[in-house]
Structure 1
Amino acid sequence: MDVRQLNYFIVLAESNTISEAAKKLKMAQPPLSQMLKNLEIELGATLIKRSKKKHQLTKSGHILYQEALNILKQLEEMKLKIREESNGLSGNLRIGCNHIAILNLETVTSHFLKQFPNVSLIIEQNDSITLQEKLKNRTIDLAFLQGPINQDIFTNHFSKMDEFVFVTSEELKQKSISQHDFFKKPLLLPDFHSLTSQGEQFSEILSGQPEGFTISYCSNYTLIQQLVASGIVNSFVPKSLFNKDNFLELFYYPIRKPFKLTCYHLISLKDNYLDQTSLNFIETLKN
Structure 2
Amino acid sequence: MTDVQDTSTESLPSQTPLAGVIGWPISQSRSPRLHGHWLSRYDLPGHYIPMPVRPEDLLEVLQTLPKLGFVGLNVTIPHKEAVLQLADVVTDRASLIGAANTLIFRDDGKIHADNTDGYGFIANLVQNTPDWQPERGAAAVIGAGGAARAVVASLLERGVPELRITNRTRLRADQIKAEFGAKLVVYDWAQAGNMLEGATTVVNATSMGMVGKPPLRVPLDALSPGAVATDLVYTPLMTDFLTEAQARGCHIVDGLGMLLHQAAPGFERWFGRRPEVDAALRQAVL
More strand by share: 1
Structure of greater Rg: 1
Question: Normalised by the size of structure 1, how large is the TM-score?
Answer: 0.29
Question: Normalised by the size of structure 2, how large is the TM-score?
Answer: 0.29
Q: Which has the higher contact order (CA 8 A, sep 6+)?
A: 1
